Amino acid sequence: MNGIEAVSKILGNEKISTFFADLSKPNKENAVPRGRVANVFVTILAEGELVIRHEGGEDVTLASIDGEKYPMILHEKLVSSWRREMLEQLRHDYDLHKEEINKIRE
């Protein structure tokens, strides 16, 4: 399933038709970029306590859904958390194999 099929299954073809161009046949209209923004929200359930850096209690991003406000985590915060975890693993691996890695560098 490609991206268009996945989104159209959720929203329907009518709502997404303005965001995608039909490239199956030549059409001069497709040469003109029509900039659009599609905000995609993904709901995830953490397996445990999710630790994300933030500036304090007031630094919580809220999303309005059907008139209600819900706390949300920005993609940038998830990526930075993932990056910190990866760097921690790389440092640990380097400590375990320092001599082998230094031989490769020479």
pLDDT tens by residue, 34-73: 677 767 777 777 677 666 666 565 667 788 888 888 777 7
- Per DSSP, 62 falls in state E
The total number of structural domains in the chain stands at 2
Which residue range is the domain that position 14 belongs to?
1-40
Same domain, 92 and 65: yes
Of the candidates 61, 58, 19, which has an alpha carbon nearest to the alpha carbon of residue 41? Answer: 61
pTM assigned to the model = 0.41
Is the pLDDT score of 86 beyond 90?
yes
Same-domain pairing of 30 and 55: no
Regarding whether 36 and 3 lie in a shared domain, the answer is yes
- CA dist., res. 55 & res. 33, Å (int): 39
**Residues 83, 101 within the same domain:** yes
The answer to whether 38 and 20 have CB atoms below 8 angstroms apart is: no
- The stretch 77-102 carries a mean pLDDT of 89
Alpha helices in the chain (DSSP H): 3-11, 13-16, 75-96, 98-105
